[in-house]
Amino acid sequence: MPASPKKPSAFRPPRNKHQCILHEKMKKILYLFTMIFLAIGGLCAQTAQSIDGDWTPDEESRLGDIKIKSVGNGKYKIKLGNGRTVTGEISGNTINASYEYLDSEYGEFWVDGRGDILHGHSDGGYGSFGAASGWYSGNEHYRQTNSRYNCATVENSYCMIRLEFRDGYMAAYYKLVGEYMKSGRKMFYQESNWTSCGRYTQW
């Protein structure tokens, strides 16, 4: 009785020297790609792990103790020492966040010829808030907010936070920004310089 024909193997080994060399190269390439993907995955996990947690300032800080927790998609919940919780977004090694630190103020706000922000008083007088930092598109040279009768009517105040993660510690900064609006549009703003809150250590 004739022998049954053998079923073809699911994997046929290379038949010549050229195929052997090619086969070995492919295995090395696949191994290299596997190692790269594992390294990237490990780095991402390590980065998230090194950011999440409790951070304590090495010296007294305006921001106080900071707690950070990842919520996915590059966003983080940040609880500050004053009890306020904000959401920040990471870019590179830095998380940026902001919150409104004062209630909106309503009134008359305009920029005079010297570039100072003036605030109208109910008795007809006015005071100065100091120099404006810049204008938003559509209000170049403050042309739409350059007098008491051509003014912004709302001031919104924000605290901007920047957390930079460095080798073994976190550096924290903040600055204050006032935005002035007219008919629902941002017209001009005033901002401070970034102020350092020192180094933070993770516990």
Asked if the structure places residue 191 within a domain, the reply is yes
Q: CA-CA distance, 112 to 132, in Å (whole number)?
A: 10
Same domain flag for 102 and 148: yes
Q: What single-letter DSSP state applies at residue 38?
A: H
Q: Is the pLDDT of residue 142 over 90?
A: yes
- Cβ atoms of 158 and 152 within 8 Å: the answer is no
Same domain flag for 160 and 121: yes
Asked if the structure places residue 3 within a domain, the reply is no
Asked if the structure places residue 7 within a domain, the reply is no
Residue 17 is predicted with a pLDDT of 54
- Cβ atoms of 195 and 175 within 8 Å: the answer is yes
Same domain flag for 134 and 162: yes
> What are the residues whose beta carbons fall under 8 Å from the beta carbon of 120, sequence distance 6 or more?
107, 108, 109, 110, 126, 148, 151
Instruction: State whether residue 92 is helix, strand or coil.
Output: coil
> What are the residues whose beta carbons fall under 8 Å from the beta carbon of 107, sequence distance 6 or more?
119, 120, 153, 155
Asked if the structure places residue 119 within a domain, the reply is yes
Same domain flag for 128 and 77: yes
Between these two residues, 109 and 5, which has the higher pLDDT value? 109
Domain span holding position 72: 53-202
Residue 82 is predicted with a pLDDT of 87
Same domain flag for 84 and 135: yes
Phi-psi category of residue 73: left, alpha or beta, with phi > 0 → left and psi -120 to 50 → alpha: left
Same domain flag for 86 and 59: yes
Look up residue 150 and give its two tokens.
């051509």
Same domain flag for 140 and 41: no
Look up residue 140 and give its two tokens.
């170049």
Q: How many domains does the chain have?
A: 2
Rounded to two decimals, the pTM is 0.73
Asked if the structure places residue 4 within a domain, the reply is no
Q: Is the pLDDT of residue 4 over 70?
A: no
- pLDDT tens, residue by residue, 156-181: 999 999 999 998 899 999 999 999 99
Residue 121 is predicted with a pLDDT of 93
Asked if the structure places residue 99 within a domain, the reply is yes
Same domain flag for 81 and 180: yes
Look up residue 7 and give its two tokens.
């079923």
Between these two residues, 189 and 19, which has the higher pLDDT value? 189
Same domain flag for 41 and 94: no
> What are the residues whose beta carbons fall under 8 Å from the beta carbon of 33, sequence distance 6 or more?
none
- pLDDT tens, residue by residue, 53-80: 999 999 999 999 999 999 999 999 999 9
In the chain, at which residue ranges do the beta strands (DSSP E only) sit?
Answer: 53-57, 66-72, 75-79, 85-91, 94-111, 116-120, 126-131, 134-135, 152-166, 169-182, 185-191, 195-202
- pLDDT tens, residue by residue, 9-56: 444 445 555 555 555 656 666 655 555 544 444 344 444 558 999 999
Residue 50 is predicted with a pLDDT of 82
Average pLDDT on 146-163 reads 97
Same domain flag for 170 and 180: yes
- pLDDT tens, residue by residue, 95-136: 999 999 999 999 999 999 999 999 999 898 999 999 999 999
Same domain flag for 124 and 89: yes
Residue 143 is predicted with a pLDDT of 95
